[in-house]
Amino acid sequence: MTTAPTPVPAPASAAQSGGGAPGPATPASTADAAKATTATAANATAPTTTTSGAKASKASKAPRPGQARTGRGRAWLAALPLLLFFLVGFGLPAVAIAIGAFTTSSDAPDGGGTFTTDNLTNSLQGAYWTALWGSVKLSLLTALIATVVGLPLAQAVATSRFRMFREAVMSASGVLANFGGVPLAFMFVATLGNAGEVTKRFGLTSHGWSLYTFSGLSVVYLYFLVPLMVITVTPALEGLRTQWREAAYNNGATVVQYWRHVALPVLVPSLLGGFVLLFGASFAAYATAEAMVGSSVPLISMQIGDALSGNVLVGQGNLALALGLDMIVVACLVMAVYLPLQRRSAKWLA
């Protein structure tokens, strides 16, 4: 009798490749599937682990709130000497001037110390108002001329290819901007005075020239205001980007059109800020005008000097403090205009 052969089960892979029904899973195939599943899970979780590690690294490098407060505290501590200097050098005198401007002087009939507004009222009347307006006119005129003259000079310095020329002009401007007082007055008296060398050589007196007038004092002030404008506006000119000029030229713009539509709109805040700065420097000048013209040109700074020396009526000893308060108010208005313009200019030229 013939015996039938025993059927041998085909592997699962062979059955699947042949298109038939899958056979029962063997231990080997189960192990391979488990390994594949583990590898897939590891690959899926690897980026998450890397990202989590990067976030943890960034979090460890970020300053803690306590460290940030400590850094700000150290910054305030470093600025403390400057704040103390400002308080002693400006804050206390300003408070003393404000108090004295609203109180009577010690030579008043009531003995002094009484609240009054007569000092401020008198400081805005008569010769004192004329002096205040004269200082404002002189400052406006000289600041405007120095701005117009200083801009092309600063442009020549900013675009110069010669480093020695640029350093020489900037160094000279730094010296001349701080050159004033009696030496400056003596220099102009010796050159452009009635008996000055230049006046006699060119016969300026016969043409109506006089150094001891409003016009002559304006020329003297320009001697230190123009270099100050050069120092002020040169960084702004250097901040103009070359790409702006090249883009304007590539689009067919001329030099005049570039300055009108690109450069000047960007420079306007810096120019106005420099103008305000020059106005303040001219408004506060005293020694040069006092040594050269005396009282022939009415200025508020010289009126304050006369009042401090006792050249006032009895009971008006604190009038000089009221005049000083007027100057402080004008200076605060100047700074209120200058600071926003400076911030706007820094935003464009940063």
The pLDDT of residue 113 is 79
Instruction: Answer whether 298's CB lies under 8 Å from 130's CB.
Output: yes
Quickly state the pLDDT bin for 191 (edges 50, 70, 90): very high
- How far is CA 126 from each of CA 129, 154, 284, 348, rounded to the nearest angstrom? 6, 41, 21, 46
- Mean pLDDT of the region 266-295: 88
* More confident position, 4 or 202: 202
Phi, psi of 26 (to 5 degrees): -95, 165
Averaged over 95-111, what is the pLDDT? 84
Closest CA to 345 of 243, 248, 272, 259: 272
Q: What is the pLDDT of residue 347?
A: 67
Judged by average pLDDT, the poorest of 14-28, 88-102, 317-331, 336-350 is 14-28
| Burial status of residue 41 (CB atoms within 10 A of its CB: 0-12, 13-18, 19 or more) | exposed
Distance CA 102, CA 94 (A): 13
pLDDT, tens digit, for every residue of 33-66?
444 444 444 444 444 444 444 444 544 455 555 5
Q: At what angle do helices 182-192 and 214-238 cross, to 10 degrees?
A: 120
- Whether the pLDDT of residue 137 is over 90: the answer is yes
Superfamily of domain 85-349: MetI-like (1.10.3720.10)
Residue 348's pLDDT band, with cuts at 50, 70 and 90, is low
Q: What rounded mean pLDDT belongs to the chain?
A: 79
